Structure 1
Amino acid sequence: MAEDDRREAAPLSFLLCAAEVARMLGLGTGAEVPEDRRARHLAHAVRKPLLESAGLPEELFASLMAAAVYDPDPSFCRWFVEPAVYAFGRRRVMTALLEYLRTGTQAEQAGAKRAWYCAHVPLRADRSPAYAPDGSRDPALDETRNVTNEWRETSDAQARASAAARDRSKA
Structure 2
Amino acid sequence: MDLAHMADVPEARRARHLAHAVRRPLLERAHLPEEFFAPLMAAAVHDPDPSFCRWFVEPAVHAFGRRRVMTALLDYLRTGTHAEQAGAQPAWYCAHVPLYADRSPAYAPDGRRDPALDEFRDVRDEWQETLQRSAVQPGHTET
Q: TM-score, normalising length from structure 1?
A: 0.78
From 98, 101, 120, the equivalent of 1:144 is: 120
Partner of 2:130: 154
Alpha-carbon RMSD across the aligned residues, in angstroms, is 1.8
Distance 1:33 1:146 in 2: 43
Q: Deviations over 1:83-102 (max 9, x none)?
A: 10010000000000000000
The CA deviation at 1:168 is: 4.4
Partner of 1:124: 100
Equivalent pair of 1:29/1:42 in contact (CA under 8 Å): no
Pairs within 5 Å for 1:1-171: 30-159=6-135, 162-163=136-137, 167-169=139-141
Comparing 129-138 with 28-37, greater Cα deviation is found at 28-37
Distance 1:149 1:55 in 2: 28
The CA deviation at 1:32 is: 2.5
Distance 1:101 1:29 in 2: 36
The CA deviation at 1:169 is: 4.2
Runs of 4+ in 1 over 4 A off after TM superposition: none
Distance 1:116 1:104 in 2: 14
Q: Deviations over 1:13-32 (max 9, x none)?
A: xxxxxxxxxxxx9x669232
> Which is bigger in relative contact order (C-alpha 8 A, separation at least 6)?
2
The CA deviation at 1:145 is: 0.6
Secondary structure at the residue paired with 1:163?
coil
Alignment: residue pair count: 141
Q: Deviations over 1:32-53 (max 9, x none)?
A: 2110111111111111111011
Distance 1:147 1:29 in 2: 41
Distance 1:168 1:77 in 2: 30
The residue type paired with residue 137 of structure 2 is: A
